[in-house]
Structure 1
């Protein structure tokens, strides 16, 4: 794992983790030896991890539970494509059903087009400009 950390671009500066007992001192020592600051979340603060937990739930239910991941390269490609979809096409409840990064002009008229995401697991619908 430390070999992967050495070639990671951009370099990792922080590891934010919760206070679960599965994260031992040895776990923290591996990251600290690579110059990464380990930051545990505060005790009795259940909302601290809420945003990360919600994202993990979304990626699992919408993507990973429907695919058989073959290797690390495949996982990276799938996650890269899902993150682009998640940020540029998927509406978010916390943003009043808006898209975080809107890359295209949303047309009100014209035919509706379906775009397959992740090999047709997810469908993205948009209107072509008339």
Structure 2
């Protein structure tokens, strides 16, 4: 059965992630059915994440919200790399702005300019951007965004839930990519992150947006049981099998 195959080949996936992958393949099935199949096979499905009042507030303002943050990773040679990412709350569209061992004022300011150009090209009408009080964000970063009509909102001290969307993405990136990869150098890191960016934006079903994908709509569901039984599902590995995409042949 396809549910058990997905669970076996991707042991870090929970039942909601498997449910989303089935929807991407055009197989409409209830999440509770996936949970029952996994439970019946003795596979412990991951619990659903609880919502919160703050999360509901972020969703209500999602159309005009961006969030960004730095996260760190270390190469095999011991060099600490700083990665800057931005996520759009509405579509969960991720933008990896770059990675550097030295996040200088000039470098961070240039990423802000690049972000503004990318948003203009995409027709994004963001009005607010959330980031924390990290000293790596210079005043020039906020000024460039303000000139583009985007007001910076600082999160509270030691309050990661105020920027929960991007924090959750960073956790996902670590769990699915960085914790399973040995990074050689900056070039290798950027290659891995670009591949994950394309995978996340174009294939990964996201629970926060009804299991759709940031840049791709879901296909029409398959309603004929006979057609489902005849599906030939092919696995397309990325990055040597660290990431898996599934498509109907």
TM-score (norm 2): 0.40
Mapped partners of 1:94, 1:7: distance in 2: 30
Which residue of the partner structure matches residue 179 of structure 2?
A: 65
User: If each structure's helix is expressed as a fraction of its own residues, which one has the higher value?
Assistant: 2
Q: Is the alpha carbon distance of 1:98 and 1:11 closer, same or farther for their aligned partners in structure 2, counting shifts above 3 Å?
A: closer
Q: Is the alpha carbon distance of 1:70 and 1:103 closer, same or farther for their aligned partners in structure 2, counting shifts above 3 Å?
A: farther
Query: Hey, which bits of structure 1, 4+ residues long, moved more than 4 A?
Result: 5-10, 12-16, 42-46, 103-110
Deviation of the 1:55 alpha carbon: 0.2
Q: Is the alpha carbon distance of 1:42 and 1:75 closer, same or farther for their aligned partners in structure 2, counting shifts above 3 Å?
A: same
Equivalent of residue 92 in structure 1, options 188, 191, 206: 206
Which residue of the partner structure matches residue 11 of structure 1?
A: 114
Q: SS in structure 1 opposite 2:237?
A: strand
Mapped partners of 1:98, 1:11: distance in 2: 27
Greater RCO between the two (CA within 8 Å, min separation 6)? 2
Gaps of 5+ in 1: none
Number of aligned residues: 119
Equivalent of residue 36 in structure 1, options 141, 159, 165: 141
Gaps of 5+ in 2: 1-103, 117-127, 144-151
TM-score (norm 1): 0.70
- Is 1:74 the counterpart of 2:188? The answer is yes
